[in-house]
């Protein structure tokens, strides 16, 4: 942490460790859910280093970090247009379609925030079909997000768009992390199925022995 002596940095880390990792992650993305509601309207600076520290503690449950409206860290980052934060969250298993209590997806949050760059990241990482984002497109029209509307049009007709090109390059850079995440999920699913099969077999054996 630049500008602080080593002892001060240790003190800050120890103070953070007393808070739930979900609170730390949201603060690093830009929202302090522990602050009064009025102060939450002012975004905090993005802290990618803090995100990298806390994300391993939320492996497999990144989407448990939500604000008071149930918006995930990914949805908040999308609204704020913080594409680097979005990349980190997606590489660590954030659900690209996770909705808040109002049924608003991260893609719609990007529209409400009028961030075409964030919308581009979500379109590319989500691999949406051209017709899929119709609800988010309606949201973009509703708030007058003309750059986002133009992005959706480029996505639909396959025309060249600089933001989509940047998002595709980001996605390529994320592929090793995304592939490792997919492999981890396959291993967990296989272990779960094996445990279920073992439990079923044990239950059947016990039933037969009692007959």
Q: Each residue of 113-162: pLDDT tens digit? A: 999 999 999 999 999 886 777 899 999 999 999 999 999 999 999 999 99
Mean pLDDT in residue range 162-172:
98
* pTM listed for this prediction: 0.83
Query: Residue 204 above 90 pLDDT?
Result: no
List all residues 6 or more positions away from 112 whose beta carbon is below 8 Å from its beta carbon.
79, 104, 139, 143, 145
- Burial class from Cβ neighbours inside 10 Å (0-12, 13-18, 19+) for residue 31 reads buried
Res. 52 pLDDT band, cuts 50 70 90: very high
Mean pLDDT in residue range 177-189:
90
Residues in the chain: 211
Q: What is the pLDDT of residue 7?
A: 38
CA 110 to chain centre: 12
């Amino acid at each position: 942490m630049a500008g602080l002596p080593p002892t001060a940095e240790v003190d800050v880390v120890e103070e953070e460790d007393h808070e739930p990792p979900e609170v730390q992650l949201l603060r690093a993305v830009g929202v302090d859910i522990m602050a009064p509601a009025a102060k939450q309207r002012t975004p905090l600076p993005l802290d990618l280093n803090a995100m990298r520290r806390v994300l391993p503690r939320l492996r497999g449950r990144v989407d448990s970090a939500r604000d008071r409206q149930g918006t995930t860290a990914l949805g908040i980052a999308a609204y704020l247009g913080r594409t680097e934060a979005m990349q980190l969250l997606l590489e660590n298993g954030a659900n690209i379609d996770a909705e808040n209590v109002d049924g608003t997806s991260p893609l719609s949050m990007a529209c409400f925030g009028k961030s075409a760059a964030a919308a581009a990241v979500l379109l590319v990482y989500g691999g949406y079909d051209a017709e899929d984002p119709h609800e988010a497109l309606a949201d973009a029209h509703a708030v007058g997000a003309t750059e986002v509307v133009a992005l959706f049009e480029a996505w639909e007709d396959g025309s060249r768009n600089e933001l989509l090109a940047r998002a595709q390059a980001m996605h390529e850079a994320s592929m090793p992390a995304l592939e490792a995440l997919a492999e981890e999920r396959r291993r967990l699913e296989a272990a779960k199925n094996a445990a279920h099969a073992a439990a079923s077999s044990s239950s059947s054996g016990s039933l037969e022995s009692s007959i």
